[in-house]
Structure 1
Amino acid sequence: MGMKYAVIAPVSAGVTARPEWIGGYAEHLEACGFESLVAVEHAVVVSRYSSTYPYASSGKMELADDLDIPDPLELLCFLAARTTRLKLATGVLVLPNHHPVVLAKRLATIDALSGGRLRLCVGMGWMKEEIEACGADFATRGRRADEQIDVLRALWADSSPDGVDHHGEFFDFDGAMSYPKPVGGNIEIHIGGHSVAAARRAGRRGDGLQPLGVAGEELAKLVDVMRSEAEAAGRDPDALELSLGHAVSRITPEKAESLAERGAHRIVLQPTPTADLEEAKDELSACAERLGLDRR
């Protein structure tokens, strides 16, 4: 199977809450032959946060505190109605912000109504203030996330008349029945992050790893950790996907081949921020032409 190309919704341009802008962008993305659109999440951005953003040397994220960042699941549901083939992904959904029983229903509903087009990429979150504002403990978010993934999968898979019982460290319930089910009975859960813990989680519980911004020996180490953890858990490491990042404006077939040699199955592309929709579409068109995508 050939390389898959995803594009991150251009949240930094401040346009992803404008329905005609982001709707038109998604329609063009689909027409150009890209695999999926990826929506980011911040439930809240806490002003004057002291947490360190791990993807910039300044320790601060590049997004303004008051920027429009729509809920990713509501955004993907809207875009599902504007498209027919484009896959709909999160990248990343901050898992500690969500109760898994409610989240299981929301995700399954989007997947069912979109015809099985949802892909989930989750992260543990870096902004302590955001996670605490949503009611979760920052220090235990990793253990909580492992249990959340288990709850999601159990609720999606179960079809018994007695429902699901779960008694864990963070969540406790009996006889829970969650319908509708996702198409095929499951939704892919990829793990976003650049840490060894993220790679371990991907191997034990995930369907893939998305370590954007990681390269070289550090990337090779994370892939090795993911594969060894999968084997230790009795899972097939070859079934797990690796998603790596690049820029829409700079990706070429040669660079894509280089990423494939590092194990990438998918390239998650960052567009150039612009509020000009036609300019944004032109960038996608040029990228699709360079990559030889199947345009429709």
Structure 2
Amino acid sequence: MRYGIQLPVQSQSTLYTEPWETTAGPGDLVAVARAADAAGFAYVAVCDHVAVPRRLAAAMSTVWYDPVATLAFLAAHTRTVRLLSHVAVVGLRHPLLTAKQYATLDRLAGGRLVLGVGAGHVREEFEALGVDFARRGAVLDETIDALRAALGPEEFPEHHGKLYDFGGLGQRPRPVQPRVPLWVGGSSDAAVRRAALRGDGWLPQGDPRERLAERITRIRRLREEAGIGEPFTFGAIAEPLHIGRPAWDVGRRTLAGDPEVLAESLRAYRAMGVDRLQVRFRSRGRAELMDQIAAFAAEVAPRL
């Protein structure tokens, strides 16, 4: 089981943002990404929203960096860590445009892209961009199929579907990877089925532990029934963590304590079949977050 992290600063939902992030900037983002890279993290992740309506701004905030621009920026400041969109709402854009952006990113980053995709949930965002919110699941299904074609090795990719029809258009650069890993986000029944039948991996949205095992079993069953034998990555998002005994209130849901105590708790994810565990650390500033990342890599990860 390897581990990754969603980066701070680049998205500032009240569900997970620490107070210090509101005044942080690109330098802080780079420093944390470099710390994760140096600590051997499997990936760093960024989110995606084009625009947030007033009714949701208090909870979601309006701070959402563009994922392609952000990951390209971070690619120049990191060496080996993979670059994950968690998740890109790809149905908001034409798949040829999305493919062009992410293929270029994969080329510039030396083949480090993991494309995480999701259906989206903000109605006004879809309406402003002229996309049918009610049919976003069907749109995502075909978009995934179109992206498979457009991100493949062919210089002139083709896709002929109900929503998108293209062929005979040359598109370069091609990705470095022969097959860009495509992980599907979401926890609904439709999202789980979509991940099983169309994805290379699954990114749940913070599901409680007790729900994960059943969904992992379902994905395995669906893939077996469909005769899909390719490798598949099972993700999970762990509870907030704090290594050591905190001298401040880290919240009742936070797992805090000595490295072995935390490792024992996190090993339960591996027992369920999780391959990639996304971790998040409570912190009061950039320095504390970087210390937590280093401590996790040195003291907790070897016990996993």
Report the TM-score, using the length of structure 1 for normalisation: 0.85
Matched residue, 1:57: none
Q: How does 1:37-76 map to 2 (within 5 A)?
A: 37-49=44-56, 62-64=59-61, 66=62, 68-76=63-71
Change (3 A) 1:69 1:293: farther
Matched residue, 1:184: 177
Q: Distance in 1 between matches of 2:138 and 2:58?
A: 25
Contact 1:15-1:22 at 8 Å conserved across structures: no
2:167 aligned residue (174, 179, 183):
174
1:277 aligns to 2:283 (yes or no)? no
Q: Distance in 1 between matches of 2:4 and 2:271?
A: 18
Q: Distance in 1 between matches of 2:210 and 2:36?
A: 33
Identify the structure with bigger relative contact order (alpha carbons < 8 Å, sequence gap 6+): 1
Q: For residue 167 of structure 2, give the secondary structure of its aligned residue in structure 1.
A: strand
Partner AA of 1:281 in structure 2: M
For residues 217-236 of structure 1, give each alpha carbon's deviation from its aligned partner in whole angstroms, at most 9, with x where no partner exists.
53233223322222233211
Gaps of 5+ in 1: 50-59
For residues 37-88 of structure 1, give each alpha carbon's deviation from its aligned partner in whole angstroms, at most 9, with x where no partner exists.
1101111111115xxxxxxxxxx98432x3x221011111000000111111
For residues 5-63 of structure 1, give each alpha carbon's deviation from its aligned partner in whole angstroms, at most 9, with x where no partner exists.
101111334469722111111111111221111101111111115xxxxxxxxxx9843
Matched residue, 1:113: 108
Partner AA of 1:194 in structure 2: S
1:243 aligns to 2:235 (yes or no)? yes
User: Which shifted more, 214-223 or 227-236?
Assistant: 214-223
Change (3 A) 1:164 1:123: same
Contact 2:95-2:150 at 8 Å conserved across structures: no
Matched residue, 2:300: 291
Q: How does 1:78-227 map to 2 (within 5 A)?
A: 78-159=73-154, 163-216=156-209, 218-227=211-220
Contact 2:150-2:158 at 8 Å conserved across structures: no
User: Which shifted more, 249-258 or 120-129?
Assistant: 249-258
Matched residue, 1:19: 26
Partner AA of 1:63 in structure 2: M
Deviation (angstroms), 1:151: 0.9
Partner AA of 1:9 in structure 2: L
1:7 aligns to 2:17 (yes or no)? no
Matched residue, 1:55: none
Deviation (angstroms), 1:137: 0.6
Contact 2:43-2:81 at 8 Å conserved across structures: yes
Q: Distance in 1 between matches of 2:281 and 2:171?
A: 37
Contact 2:44-2:83 at 8 Å conserved across structures: yes
Q: Distance in 2 between matches of 1:288 and 1:196?
A: 34
Matched residue, 2:40: 33
Deviation (angstroms), 1:210: 1.3
Deviation (angstroms), 1:178: 2.0
RMSD: 2.3
1:257 aligned residue (258, 267, 271):
267
2:221 aligned residue (193, 215, 228):
228
Deviation (angstroms), 1:176: 2.5
Q: Distance in 2 between matches of 1:15 and 1:81?
A: 24
Change (3 A) 1:83 1:197: same
Change (3 A) 1:62 1:287: farther
Q: Percent identity?
A: 34
Report the TM-score, using the length of structure 2 for normalisation: 0.83
Contact 1:155-1:177 at 8 Å conserved across structures: no
User: Which shifted more, 39-48 or 276-285?
Assistant: 276-285
Deviation (angstroms), 1:131: 2.1
Change (3 A) 1:228 1:106: same
Change (3 A) 1:176 1:224: farther
Contact 1:8-1:271 at 8 Å conserved across structures: no
